[in-house]
Amino acid sequence: MKATAKAHTNIALIKYWGKRDESLILPMNNSLSLTLDGFYTSTTVEFRNDLLEDVFYLDDKTVTGNEYYRVTSFLDLIRKQAGNDGLFAEIRSANQVPTAAGFASSASGFAALATAAVKALGLPYSNQELSVLTRQGSGSACRSIYGGFVEWQQGTKADGTDSYAVQVANANDWDIRVAAVVLSSDAKKVLSREGMKRTVETSPFYSGWLESVPSDLQAIKAGIKEKDFEQVGSISEANCLRMHATTLGANPPFMYWQSTTFLIMEAVRALRADGISAYFTIDAGPNVKVLYMPKDEEAVQHKLRSVPGVRNVIVSRPGSGISCM
Ligand code: ADP
Ligand code: DP6
Ligand code: CO
């Protein structure tokens, strides 16, 4: 009744932004991501008959409050599916990724938790079933089941059974790089969950965002198939800017970027003006991820590290899907 699992984070190139069902976590649009080998979560789940409630340690600290509630209510789903309602667990998780800072800790966190819990209870889930389950912990997490380029298909059913991720291209198919530019590891003020809800409910720009996604998706998938870096990069950057634009129209308005975020965007544009193909994308936080080709590693690193306010640059390659120990 004990298992350990590891899952990598993923960076969305076409963003998931907005839910049509908040309790089942069903998205308003399909999204597409790249799993990253540089950031991951390892989680051990042990179900024990002597426990009267779940106990959750994150990076060796006991977790209480909302973060604890999110984990136990997610385990409730699994307990229900296993027909084991009164069985509680000790959960020990370690994030090799800053928590709640826009590096997708919720993606690696819930993918590792779901995988370990399902294994610990001996449930014979396929990866597709695991993706459906994981989605209900954090939407972006359903994509971390797989490595490489992954699409989350929003599905049409009300019960969510057709809303899961599928692999578009394997991690080994294409060696591209993603530099995570760290300005701040502080937790964001507006969590992804709250930010997207406010945007759907109040931003007049939201409908424009939704209209723009299908053509982005089609074009980026063609770009991935043809290994056309310019196409994949430029669509990712434009899609990111459109997602963030919706937050400016929300009520009350909000913005995930800081002044250093702008400096990095400018540095990436300057690289392009110098003939180096690099593109940025940003999730719900101030930190920036820069996509580039291996041959430009040195030039990109040098440029990003020279930006005032940059604390670290962490390079990832395409990462693999979940693994169990
Ligand atoms: P991020 O950009 O890091 O994904 P989110 O706002 O989406 O930020 O989610 C952060 C939340 O994800 C945390 O507050 C916590 O509730 C949850 N989380 C992060 N890491 C883990 C983990 N290892 N196990 C379980 N839950 C986690
Ligand atoms: C901007 O998956 O963290 O990173 O489903 O509420 O847990 P919940 O939100 P989450 O949202 C991620 C938003 C994003 C874009 C993306 O990863 O696709
Ligand atoms: Co998240």
Q: What number is the average pLDDT over the span 286-292?
A: 97
- Show the ligand 2 pocket: residues with CB < 6 angstroms: 12, 15-17, 25, 31, 106, 138-140, 192-193, 283-284
Q: What is the pLDDT of residue 102?
A: 87
Q: What is the DSSP string of 58-117?
A: ETTEE--HHHHHHHHHHHHHHHHHHT-TT-EEEEEEEEES-TTSSS-HHHHHHHHHHHHH
Closest CA to 114 of 66, 149, 76: 76
Q: What is the pLDDT of residue 5?
A: 98
Any atom of ligand 1 within 6 Å of the Cβ of 58: yes
We find that the CATH architecture of domain 2-173 is: 2-Layer Sandwich (3.30)
Q: What number is the average pLDDT over the span 4-25?
A: 98
**Unique residue bearing structure tokens 């389950």:** 133
Q: Which run of H or E residues covers position 122?
A: none
The pLDDT-based confidence of 88 (bands split at 50, 70, 90) is very high
Average pLDDT, the chain: 97
- Judged by average pLDDT, the poorest of 93-107, 146-160, 163-177 is 93-107
Contact 14, 32 (CB under 8 A): yes
**Unique residue bearing structure tokens 């209209």:** 211
Cis ω before 204 (30° cut-off from 0): no
Note residues around ion ligand 3 (Cβ under 5 angstroms): 106, 192
Q: What is the pLDDT of residue 187?
A: 83
Q: What is the pLDDT of residue 101?
A: 82
Spacing, Cα 46 to ligand 1 middle (Å): 20
Pairing verdict, β 61-62 and 55-58: antiparallel
Count of other CB atoms within 10 angstroms of residue 83: 8
Q: Does residue 325 have a pLDDT over 90?
A: no
In percent, how much of the chain has pLDDT > 70? Answer: 100
The pLDDT-based confidence of 19 (bands split at 50, 70, 90) is very high
Q: Does residue 100 have a pLDDT over 90?
A: no
Q: What is the pLDDT of residue 172?
A: 93
Q: What is the DSSP string of 32-67?
A: EEEEEEEEEEEEEEEEETT-SS-EEEETTEE--HHH
Backbone φ, ψ for residue 9 (5° rounding): -80, 175
* Nearest alpha carbon, ligand 1 atom 13: 100
- Judged by average pLDDT, the poorest of 16-20, 66-70, 102-106 is 102-106
Q: What is the pLDDT of residue 218?
A: 98
Spacing, Cα 103 to ligand 2 middle (Å): 10
Spacing, Cα 100 to ligand 3 middle (Å): 7
Backbone φ, ψ for residue 150 (5° rounding): -135, 135
The pLDDT-based confidence of 125 (bands split at 50, 70, 90) is very high
What is the CATH number that goes with domain 177-316?
3.30.70.890
Q: What is the pLDDT of residue 136?
A: 98
Structural domain boundaries in the chain: 2-173, 177-316
- Judged by average pLDDT, the poorest of 56-60, 100-104, 128-132, 254-258 is 100-104
Q: What number is the average pLDDT over the span 104-109?
A: 96
CA distance 79 to 71: 12
Q: What is the pLDDT of residue 93?
A: 98
Closest CA to 13 of 206, 225, 239: 239
CA distance 2 to 156: 35
Q: Could you report the per-residue pLDDT of 184-240, keeping only the tens digit for each?
A: 888 888 999 999 999 999 999 999 999 999 999 999 999 999 999 999 999 999 999
